[in-house]
Amino acid sequence: MLAEIGLTERIGTDSDSAVKHLAQSLFLSSWRESQLVALAAYFDCSGHEDDQEFVVVAGFLSSDDEWDRFETLWVDRLKADGVEYFHAVEFAHSTKQFDGWRNQEARRRALGCDLMGIIKRHVFRKFGCVVINNTLTENMCEEVKTEHFVNAYSLAGRACVTYLWQWLRQNQWKTVPALIFEDGDKGQDRLRKGMKQDAFPDPNFKPKRDRTKKDGLIEKGMVPLQAADWLAYESFVAMKKENLDRWARQEFESTPGEIGVFLPSGIQQIQDILSLGRGMQKVGFPKLP
């Protein structure tokens, strides 16, 4: 699931048989020919550039119809355990809604397996990027960051969208997907401005759970962001602990797609692209090995 941008080595590969099975089961080729499928990609962030070593942005692409089915099953499964929403860090540490679950391993395993199954049955592909904060600090000058709206979060988000666009083009999709990011991460405005500079569609920033607005109205949470949250969290933990053996991370490994990691050479390539004023949608990030 983790691939290093700027190196030829790749950690983790897609299963060709899994990809073929997914495509056949979802009739992707027929949908591409019809060019009528509404797509949406949901992304969330894990980590912070102020006090963490890494920032990860990751998420999933699927059709609106599949996301609707996903949401119904996801919400119903959570309700069966008395849970209103899923937040990976709370689940991992048995806090808040999962307070008291620490010693209930069978219950934890059942919920995790059921939710993972729902994700796998309803998403098309995962996309993600890890930015090592020190690498960005040391290998991109402040002038480029300022002119091109770069911080760790915006760079990781733009990488995700670039790889998404590259995959859509390679697979002859014509539909422009909606791009939804979790609201509130540092660099949100930079991501919006950077994507405009790159000639991508505007991102939408939404909550992952229902929230009350200042006017008292309820803003509905985007349930697919809860799946993106889990992928981003597990990718962050894998980097932080250098541990690729966690159950959830291994399960995400079998989902088509990759999580890229920007190494110094990759950061330098991006700086060169930005310095030349070439749009990332046309030029793209360094291709994953």
What pLDDT, on the 0 to 100 scale, is given for residue 282? 56
What pLDDT, on the 0 to 100 scale, is given for residue 214? 85
What pLDDT, on the 0 to 100 scale, is given for residue 275? 81
What pLDDT, on the 0 to 100 scale, is given for residue 223? 98
What pLDDT, on the 0 to 100 scale, is given for residue 273? 83
What pLDDT, on the 0 to 100 scale, is given for residue 286? 44
pTM: 0.88
Q: Mind giving me the DSSP string for the chain?
A: -EEEETSS-EE----HHHHHHHHHHHTHHHHHHHT---EEEEEEEEE-TTT-SEEEEEEEEEEHHHHHHHHHHHHHHHHHTT-S---HHHHHHT-GGGTT-TT-HHHHHHHHHHHHHHHHHH--EEEEEEEEHHHHHHHS-HHHHHHTT--HHHHHHHHHHHHHHHHHHHTT--PPPEEEEETT-TTHHHHHHHHHHTTPPPPEEE-SS-EE-TTSPEEPP-THHHHHHHHHHHHHHHHHHT----HHHHHHHTSSEEEEEE-HHHHHHHHHHHHTT--HHHH-SPPP-
Mean pLDDT, each 10-residue run in order, the chain (289 residues): 43 38 47 69 96 96 98 98 96 95 95 98 97 95 95 96 92 92 96 93 95 90 98 95 88 93 91 75 48
